[in-house]
Amino acid sequence: MTGCTKRSRRKSDAQIISIVGAGLVGGLLAIYLARRGYEVDVFESRSDSRVAASDNGRSINLAMSCRGVTALSDAGILPAVEKLMVPMRARAIHDEKGEVKYQAFGRRHDEYINAVKRTDLNELLLEEARKFPSIRWHFDTRLLHLDVSEKEAHFKRPDGSQFTHAYQRVIGADGAGSQVRASLQQQGLVSTSRVFISHGYKEIAISSASSNHLAREHLHLWPRESVVLLGNPNLDNSVTGSLFLPLKGENSVANLDNEPRIKAFFNKTFPDIAPMVPDVAGDFLNHPVGHMSTVKCSPWHHEDQCLLIGDAAHGLIPFFGQGMNCGFEDCRILNEFLDLYHDDWSRVMPAFYLARKPDTDAVSEMSTDNHHEIQTGIRDPRFNFKKQLEQHLMQRYPARYVSKHVLVMFSNMPYATALAHGRLQNTLLDRVCNQTTQLSDVDWLRVDELMREYDESLARLKRMPHGHLETTPAPTSWESA
């Protein structure tokens, strides 16, 4: 390659891992591998966010749930991360009239998810990783191409100079737009797709004064037709808003192109929160558009030399709060396979892929479903009754009924299993809701009978091998009702 210099391989290459991407997953994975005794080279196209200005307005605030917490705990860094977290115990849904409905995330007060700023979390992971001298950082280094036949990664610096890094094993943790994945695809080694949705998002700052008017420790939602505003609480009592809207058409990113239009739109669409947004036009015009996509890839590895992980392997749209949690869970489960196979990567990589693929396909499906739920479902009285009923079922049958959302948010149950539970639960809820729309009118003797049928279907599901859980079970009269 013109302008490249070639580096000689080291004698101890078998213990060196190269990671492309120093984001959340790449940072946590580097810590896991360093704890195992590996030397780790981490390459990142962006500058070190701790010494350069961060890309403000580029990301949605994150929701940390059980899977992410478990992975951070196993890596030994949860106490440090907990200082960045703000509890979110329920949804607060603001309708057009200014009325607010609340939907708890968990079954009890101590079941909650946590808001955390992406930039703060990323910087903390880098600081924690700095404690390991075996991790070497290479910022401002953009991957151009991965040549798997030569085991060489070709990089470019900001000044235009290029260099070649000879690797033993490389892990692509470089996000939904992964250049590692693109290189594998170009060489015919993986099959992949990336599908963008027709909506984008803009980050909107909501004043800390809003804490006097908005319920604390809540995820706030303002659903409006094709537009949704989400508000995540911050440590300083301010709220980071993420405005989701179409990319084209009326009330879209393309249409809202000047200050008068933006202010008029916001005042009309969100009159209750508009006075608390100090510079909505400035935020909208100056912050970049966030694009959202679903990534699918098969397989995630090439032999035992290259592996994809996190969004590089299975990017999600952000409507179920599982992108980061799923990526962190990847790191934890990969570490468990390294334990299981005694760091034999020829066994670890295919086993990791086969184990995780059904689950990441399942959480992708659930993320798409939740997009519809947030956009239109929470404005539907029938949907809200089903949510109310589901909470009551969990209280009435605590050992027998645990909602899909609770299984995803507050357990480490495989996503595919949680999805299969959710399908049975939808059938149960529909059968109850077809008879009434009021909790006070529910025939609980009939529900007791339906619960016995639900228990039997759940027992059959549990007897199925894990590999079958990503497909819909053969319907019985109960399951197809």
DSSP string covering 418-439:
HHHHHHHHHHHHHHHHTT-S-G
Q: Answer with the one of 313, 331, 364 that is the final residue of a domain.
A: 364
171 and 223 share a domain?
Answer: no
Range of the domain at 453: 380-468
Q: Which of 440, 442, 419, 431 is nearest to 479 (CA)?
A: 431
Tens digit of each residue's pLDDT, the chain (481 residues): 333 333 333 334 459 999 999 999 999 999 999 999 999 999 999 999 877 655 555 567 899 999 999 999 999 999 999 999 999 999 999 998 889 999 899 999 899 999 999 999 999 999 999 999 999 999 999 999 999 999 999 999 999 999 999 999 999 999 999 999 999 999 999 999 999 999 999 999 998 766 568 999 999 999 998 899 999 999 988 899 999 999 999 999 999 999 999 999 999 999 999 999 989 999 999 999 999 999 999 999 999 999 999 999 999 999 899 999 999 999 999 999 999 999 999 999 999 999 999 999 999 999 999 887 777 767 788 888 999 999 999 999 999 999 999 999 999 999 999 999 999 999 999 999 988 889 999 999 999 999 999 999 999 988 876 534 433 333 333 333 3
203 and 286 share a domain?
Answer: yes
- Let me know: does 146 contact 185? Beta carbons within 8 Å: no
46 and 173 share a domain?
Answer: yes
At 371 the pLDDT is 84
Q: Which of 239, 469, 226 is nearest to 355 (CA)?
A: 469
Polymer length in residues for the chain: 481
190 and 313 share a domain?
Answer: yes
Q: Is residue 22 part of a domain?
A: yes
Residue with tokens 């053969």: 474
136: left (phi over 0), alpha (psi -120 to 50) or beta: beta
Q: Is residue 315 part of a domain?
A: yes
Q: Answer with the one of 291, 317, 339 that is the final residue of a domain.
A: 291
174 and 316 share a domain?
Answer: yes
At 169 the pLDDT is 97
Total domain count for the chain? 3
Q: Is residue 370 part of a domain?
A: no
CATH code for the domain in which residue 127 is found:
3.50.50.60
DSSP state of 6: B
Q: Answer with the one of 291, 315, 337 that is the final residue of a domain.
A: 291
Cα–Cα distances in angstroms (integers) from residue 302 to residues 64, 211, 260, 294, in the given order: 31, 50, 53, 22
Report yes or no on whether pTM surpasses 0.85: yes
Cα–Cα distances in angstroms (integers) from residue 204 to residues 91, 243, 264, 265, in the given order: 19, 7, 15, 14
Q: Is residue 2 part of a domain?
A: no
Task: End-to-end CA distance of the chain: give it in Å, rounded.
Answer: 62
Give pLDDT tens digits for 13-46: 459 999 999 999 999 999 999 999 999 999 999 9
Give pLDDT tens digits for 226-255: 899 999 999 988 899 999 999 999 999 999
208 and 186 share a domain?
Answer: no
Strands 306-308 and 301-302: antiparallel
131 and 251 share a domain?
Answer: no
269 and 181 share a domain?
Answer: no
Q: Is residue 477 part of a domain?
A: no
272/382 Cα distance (integer angstroms): 25
Label residues 355-393 b or e (16+ Cβ within 10 Å = b): bbbbbbbbbbbbbbbbbebbbebbeeeeebbbbebbbeb
- Let me know: does 286 contact 260? Beta carbons within 8 Å: no
Q: Is residue 372 part of a domain?
A: no
125: left (phi over 0), alpha (psi -120 to 50) or beta: alpha
Q: Is residue 168 part of a domain?
A: yes
Cα–Cα distances in angstroms (integers) from residue 318 to residues 55, 59, 177, 366, in the given order: 19, 10, 15, 11
Q: Is residue 110 part of a domain?
A: no
20 and 156 share a domain?
Answer: yes
351 and 410 share a domain?
Answer: no
155/21 Cα distance (integer angstroms): 13
27/380 Cα distance (integer angstroms): 41
65 and 179 share a domain?
Answer: yes
Cα–Cα distances in angstroms (integers) from residue 231 to residues 53, 61, 223, 383, in the given order: 24, 9, 11, 21
51 and 159 share a domain?
Answer: yes
For the chain, counts of helices (H) and of strands (E): 14, 19
